[in-house]
Amino acid sequence: MVRIMKFFAYTLFFISMLIYFMPKINAYYLLENTLKENSIIISDEELTDNGFSLDITNASVFVKSIKSANIQNINIKIFGFYNKISLKNITLSKTMKSFIPLHVEDLNIDYSIITPFSVNLNGVGEFGTFTAIFNIDKDSIKLQLNPSKTMLNNYKSTLKNLVKSENGEYIYEKNI
């Protein structure tokens, strides 16, 4: 029994040290190059390796050379069995103002090996709150939006693209 406990303790220690010493900044630059191939550029960011996570501050996002968003803080945690990306204080480009409110307070992206074919997203902003599930296997997305009063009053044309459920949520489903 003691040998089994030692085995699990050493294995846990090894995995923890592997995650801690993983070159997260180099992995980020690899991701940035992959995004660049799809005309998405992240610039002006400051990177900080915090051991078990990577913090990115003051990032500007350009899509096809058009400034699309400013993100004040991004925290990336990669544990292999559970991965999480948290984005805080996102300000979208003013060109989006006619479709959606421009400020997103919090956006979380989660992936776990327990559900290997789905990526979960949830967020809070001037638009209200939302949860979304992207199914990798079926190439589909399902979004549930609880709109704020601002969204209900000023962005009716955007809400027309969503289906209103009985409990007041707006739902969007699409196969990609």
What pLDDT sits at residue 32? Answer: 93
Tokens representing 26 are 């180099």
Element (H, E) at 36: helix 24-37
What would the DSSP string read from start to end of 45-73? -EEEE-SS-EEEEEEEEEETTEEEEEEEE
Distance of CA 149 to the CA centre of its chain: 24
Contact 136, 117 (CB under 8 A): yes
Please report the DSSP string for 106-134 in residue order.
EEEEEEETTSTTEEEEEEEETTEEEEEEE
Is residue 127 a contact partner of residue 148, using CB atoms and an 8 Å limit?
yes
Q: Per residue in 18-71, pLDDT tens?
A: 888 888 999 899 989 999 999 999 999 999 999 899 999 999 999 998 999 999
All domains in the chain, ordered by first residue: 23-78 (2.30.30), 94-176 (no CATH)
In the chain, pLDDT over 90 holds for what percent of residues?
72
pLDDT computed for residue 79 by the predictor: 85
Report the distance separating Cα 67 and Cα 61, nearest Å: 6
Summarised one tens digit per residue, pLDDT across range 118-140 is 999 999 999 999 999 999 999 99
CA torsion, points 176, 115, 39, 173, in degrees to nearest 10? Answer: 30
pLDDT at 103 over 90: yes
Mean pLDDT, the chain, whole residue set: 92
Provide the pLDDT for residue 62. Answer: 94
Structure tokens at 86: 């948290």
- The first and second tokens of residue 142, run together, are 């399902």
Closest by Cα among 118, 59, 65, 112 to 87:
59
